[in-house]
Amino acid sequence: MAKPHPEAKVKLDAYSDAQNLRSFLKGQIFGTIAPVTESNITKPEIRGRTIIVTGANTGLGLEAAKQFAELACVSRLILACRSASKGNAAREAILATLPSEKGSQLEIYVWELDMASKASIVAFTERTRRELDHVDAIVLNAGVDLVSYQKAKDEDGGYEMTIMVNVVGTMMLAVLIIPVLREKARPGLTPRITVVGSAVQFLAKHALLVEAEQNQSGEGIMQWLSTETRWKNKIGEDRYNLSKVMLQMLVHQLAARYPVSGTQNTKKGVIVNCAAPGYCKTELFRTAGTAVSRVTLKLIGREAEVGARSLVVGAVGQEGDVKSHGMYMTEGAVNGIGSAWLRTEQGKRIEQQLWTELIDEVVKSVPTAESDL
Ligand SMILES: NC(=O)c1ccc[n+]([C@@H]2O[C@H](COP(=O)([O-])OP(=O)(O)OC[C@H]3O[C@@H](n4cnc5c(N)ncnc54)[C@H](OP(=O)(O)O)[C@@H]3O)[C@@H](O)[C@H]2O)c1
């Protein structure tokens, strides 16, 4: 189902991935992303917003949280981090950047969340339902790029860790938290889920997904890709790119199931978009990367503060409104459906299968999850 959501009102773009990459490089080298201010927010008059950011203790998540903190329409931030101490340090860092008046009005909470643990994701969602009267946006930012093979626990599905955190954990949280966002939506403001995507989806070796689809014998594409020997022989090099193209596919699927205008059970809808920050100087490459990529990052890498603006646009900006639903956003603007390969028959078929695999995994922990779909 690799097509824009009808409500997105964006033409299906006809770019090839080579063109997508050229345009990415042009933006990366010559472009920038405008900061989000009162003038380019959707409905700035609706104040008191609550925003959740996962992986908010460093990099893009922290910078996005700082930018949310400055906005007059935001009054509560939830920093969802796997380490409470790192989260608390981030809280202090955010407060230190704010004028004292805003600092005293803003509530900032650190909530523990491990995206490699299904139990943690379920507990986080339940806490959100229990403790928050509304959630106006969640930025699903936490992610990894791991060079060594690591495996999630068996009770979490036993996926390779890049797939677990970037794809399964991220989209499981999206699926589980959507009902909470919709139930608690405030009149006049459609809640948003902004998933942090990447232009590396244009580089992904789609042939590996096709090989996985053809050779898996019932265990599923994500499990096939997660096998240690395969990962070490060939999947590992493309691990991160593959994770981001799979994420983009699942964003399409999720958006297609949750129209902005609401489902038949409720008229309350949600906006789901996928925002890419560009190539940014963060801790993501703490273990990954070659000498060449490190030099490239130095030469053309963006400051995290600039890249984080795209996440803020996705969650509160005008560009991240209805037309971004199900879409890939880059340079702070809606760009299209993402990788051109998603328009192929193979792409569409694999996208559908990945969704089935995701939901099968989610319902093992929350059997009722599908009833809201
Ligand atoms: N940097 C780039 O050029 C770039 C480009 C495109 C997209 N992105 C995406 O942007 C997002 C943020 O990356 P970044 O560049 O800011 O990297 P980063 O500096 O390494 O930050 C990643 C964040 O994710 C958290 N995280 C990792 N595993 C987690 C887990 N199991 N549970 C909870 N949190 C976890 C990290 O927590 P710890 O500090 O505890 O590890 C950290 O807060 C990622 O999704 C990444 O793929 C980055």
Its pTM surpasses 0.85: yes
Residue 107, number of CB atoms within 10 A of its CB: 10
Which residue among 282, 309, 328 is best mutated to probe the pocket of ligand 1, counting the most ligand atoms within 8 A of its Cβ? 282
Whose CA is closest to 235, among 207, 275, 268? Answer: 207
* Six-digit token string for 48: 């008191």
| Ligand 1 center to 19 CA (angstroms) | 27
**CATH numbers and ranges of domains, the chain:** 6-29+42-362 (3.40.50.720)
Question: In DSSP terms, which residues pair with 333 in a beta bridge?
Answer: 330
pLDDT by 10s per residue, the chain, length 373: 445 444 444 444 556 888 888 888 898 999 889 999 999 999 999 999 999 999 999 999 999 999 999 999 999 999 999 999 999 999 999 999 998 888 888 999 999 999 999 999 999 999 999 999 999 999 999 999 998 999 999 999 999 999 999 999 999 999 999 999 999 999 999 999 999 999 999 999 999 999 999 999 999 999 999 999 998 888 888 999 999 999 999 999 999 999 898 766 666 899 999 999 999 999 888 776 677 878 888 888 999 999 999 999 999 999 999 999 999 999 999 999 999 999 899 999 999 999 999 999 999 999 988 776 6
| Ligand 1 center to 284 CA (angstroms) | 6
Cβ distance 285 to 202 under 8 Å? no
Q: Is the CB of 8 under 6 A from ligand 1?
A: no
Cβ distance 160 to 231 under 8 Å? yes
The residue type at 324: S
* Six-digit token string for 9: 């009102």
| Ligand 1 center to 350 CA (angstroms) | 26
| Distance separating alpha carbons of residues 118 and 156, to the nearest angstrom | 6
Whose CA is closest to 145, among 243, 228, 68, 230? Answer: 243
* Six-digit token string for 279: 């190539």
The sign of the CA dihedral 8, 13, 16, 20 is: negative
